[in-house]
């Protein structure tokens, strides 16, 4: 797989330069850092910060905007930013209303973000966090749940972002996040792994007729390799595994996200969405909100993930629907 880059050591720098040049009416970037902020930070609301490694575009820079994030702190490819850079972002965007960190549940990410939170607290800042762990993949040997933070993180950005804009306090947002996150479930499948990039080697290979269920967003292996199947058969696997995570009564008001992993064309995501729709209709699961596209990618992985969210509170649907100027969300 050929790659359109320059030198791998400059990926973060050049990527953030390109994206913030494109959206320089909305975004501020501090060159040489991974810190991108909303052009104008609202002084009257809690500040929302997320981030992680590069390679997940449009996440997380694409979610900075009204009713979403105020700041994204990006590390190098598939590596979280340093705690000192996260602390710098916290301090620079601090407005006295409090700051909420939205963290994807990967060990390195959690370590860096929580260390930054600890340092910020030492400085007397009002700060808290939520950890997103929507991935339903399991370890193939132990059946242990992996609980990584993956595409469902985007639902957290939008719902907490809109709730923050509405004026909720830091404590209220944390409680909302902790109620919301267990109701988000995601499962992914890869047809071809991400190419090696930067310091990140390829962690698995697939034969020409194979696919891998349960892969991660940094090229991590999944739980089962199978022969490549039709879109409908793949939808059956993902829909079944995900709906099993809920009781029947929890699926009365559901949001669906079909997320491309970077190398999958919208044509295929559209066909897959049609199969998902039909399966959910057969199972009498009403869907009130849908999204399709590349939201949280794994560099150039050919594959996709499916996310379900139980919209337990009707207000969450309103939060999802509120418009935003964040470039990654339509």
Binding site for its own copies (CB under 8 A): 1-7, 11, 14-19, 21-22, 54-55, 57-58, 77, 191-192, 208-209, 211, 228, 230-232, 234, 258, 262-275, 277, 290-292, 294, 297, 299-300, 302, 304, 327, 330
Give, for 277, the enclosing helix (H) or strand (E). Answer: helix 266-282
Would you say the C-alpha torsion 189, 291, 243, 103 has a positive or negative sign?
positive
302, 263 in Cβ contact below 8 A?
Answer: yes
- Provide the minimum distance between the beta carbon of 92 and its own copies in the complex, in angstroms, as a whole number: 23
- Provide the minimum distance between the beta carbon of 61 and its own copies in the complex, in angstroms, as a whole number: 9
Give, for 303, the enclosing helix (H) or strand (E). Answer: strand 302-310
What is the C-alpha to C-alpha distance for residues 89 and 62, in angstroms, rounded to an integer? Answer: 17
List beta partners, residue 64.
69
C-beta closer to its own copies: residue 199 or 266: 266
- Provide the minimum distance between the beta carbon of 126 and its own copies in the complex, in angstroms, as a whole number: 33
Distances (CA, A) of 34 to 61, 71, 72, 106, 329: 10, 10, 8, 19, 21
> What is the chain's length?
330
C-beta closer to its own copies: residue 250 or 268: 268
- Provide the minimum distance between the beta carbon of 170 and its own copies in the complex, in angstroms, as a whole number: 30
275, 231 in Cβ contact below 8 A?
Answer: yes
What is the C-alpha to C-alpha distance for residues 238 and 49, in angstroms, rounded to an integer? Answer: 30
56 catalytic residue (yes or no): yes
C-beta closer to its own copies: residue 232 or 313: 232
C-beta closer to its own copies: residue 162 or 189: 189
- Provide the minimum distance between the beta carbon of 42 and its own copies in the complex, in angstroms, as a whole number: 20
C-beta closer to its own copies: residue 88 or 291: 291
Closest to 45 in 3D by CA, of 95, 86, 120, 93: 95
The active-site residue out of 60, 126, 129, 218 is: 218
DSSP state of 182: G
Give the largest Cα separation in the chain, rounded.
56
What is the C-alpha to C-alpha distance for residues 120 and 317, in angstroms, rounded to an integer? Answer: 33
Q: Which residues belong to the active site?
A: 56, 218
């Amino acid at each position: 797989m050929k790659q359109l880059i320059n030198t791998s050591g400059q990926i973060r720098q050049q990527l953030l330069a390109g994206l913030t040049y494109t959206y320089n009416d909305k975004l501020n970037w501090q060159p040489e850092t991974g810190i991108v902020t909303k052009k104008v930070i609202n002084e009257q609301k809690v500040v929302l910060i997320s981030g992680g490694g590069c390679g997940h575009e449009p996440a997380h820079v694409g979610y900075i905007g009204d009713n979403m994030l105020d700041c994204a702190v990006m590390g190098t490819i598939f590596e979280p930013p340093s705690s000192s850079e996260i602390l710098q972002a916290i301090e620079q965007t601090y407005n006295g209303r409090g700051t909420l960190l939205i963290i994807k549940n990967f060990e390195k990410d959690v370590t860096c973000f929580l260390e930054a939170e600890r340092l910020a607290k030492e400085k007397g800042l009002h700060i808290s966090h939520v950890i997103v762990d929507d991935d339903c993949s399991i370890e193939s040997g132990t059946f242990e749940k992996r609980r990584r933070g993956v595409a469902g993180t985007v639902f957290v950005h939008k719902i907490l972002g809109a709730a923050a804009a509405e004026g909720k306090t830091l404590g209220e947002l944390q409680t909302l996040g902790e109620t919301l996150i267990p109701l988000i479930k995601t499962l992914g499948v890869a047809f071809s792994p991400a190419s090696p990039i930067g310091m990140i080697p390829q962690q698995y290979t697939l034969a020409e007729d194979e696919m891998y269920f349960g892969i991660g967003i940094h090229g991590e292996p999944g739980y089962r390799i199978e022969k490549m199947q039709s879109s409908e058969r793949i939808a059956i696997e993902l829909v079944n595994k995900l709906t099993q995570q809920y009781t029947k009564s929890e699926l009365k008001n559901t949001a669906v996200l079909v997320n491309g992993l970077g190398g999958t064309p919208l044509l295929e995501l559209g066909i897959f969405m049609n199969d998902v729709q039909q399966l959910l209709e057969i199972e009498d699961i009403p869907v009130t909100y849908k999204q399709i596209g590349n939201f949280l990618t794994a560099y150039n992985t050919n594959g996709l993930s499916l996310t379900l969210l139980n919209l337990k509170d009707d207000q969450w649907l309103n939060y999802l629907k509120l418009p935003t100027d964040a470039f990654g969300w339509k």
